[in-house]
A = this chain, B = another copy of it.
Amino acid sequence: MARSRSNPLALAVLALLWERPMHPYEMSMTLRERGKDESVRLNFGSLYSVVDSLEKHGLVAAASTEREGNRPQRTVYRITDEGSREVVDWLSDLLRTPTKEFPQFEAALSFLPLLPPDDAVRLLRLRVVALERRQAALRGSLDEAVATGLPPLFTVESEFEGALLRAELDFVTDLVTRLGDGTYPGVDLWRRFHADAGPDGRIDQTAVEEAVTAYIQSVRSGP
């Protein structure tokens, strides 16, 4: 009986129906209008199945089916009492308890040493440029929202996105610098085992392991 809470789109649906009854297509359009599709992954396929699942669990209910002109018939849903409780509960949980996320970039950094150091630096420099573009775009849309007079409270999530973006930009900028000038600890080692690679880029793994072990020895016995 317990619903899974895995898809935040369900939260968005509940939050919208908490305001007033809607049919699914209207929900998607409202989310778009308010720019919430930037903070909640929205796609049509998921939307309809999420609504179905909420209905099955009694958190929303079909309020009416109507037909406007000769358009396809559509079902208007409303939130139930249980749904109202659930949305407050879920939202509270999300605010109170940080969730472990797995950003793609973090995964990529995990395997950074697989690439030759110079390639890695070149790619990260390109990332910096791309991040700066995104930052400009975000700032632009925030300014626009403020210009319409919408209180910033209703766009906090974008401010948050901006904060993360800035943090990433600072991090990558610093990383690129230190990888580039070799002051990041381990770059020498990294460079060495990629220099020993064959012409096809293949690396002798035994050599890598030995190099890492040697490094560790030297650090441990060091000062």
Contacts and interface: CB of A to CB of B under 8 A. Distances in A.
Nearest to A16: B111
Interface size class of A (residues with CB under 8 A): 35 or more
A160 B106 contact: yes
Given A96-B127, A127-B97, A168-B163, A153 B186 contact: yes
Given A91-B111, A151-B185, A104 B101 contact: yes
Interface stretch (A57-65, A67-75, A118-126): A118-126
Given A164-B164, A175-B156, A95 B107 contact: no
Quick one: copies of this chain in the complex? 2
B123 A153 contact: no
Interface in A189-223: 189-190, 201-202, 205, 208, 212, 215-220
Interface of A: 8, 11-12, 15, 18-20, 36, 39-41, 84, 87-88, 91-92, 94-99, 101-115, 119-120, 123-124, 126-127, 130-131, 134, 148-154, 156-157, 159-161, 163-164, 166-168, 170-171, 175, 184-187, 189-190, 201-202, 205, 208, 212, 215-220
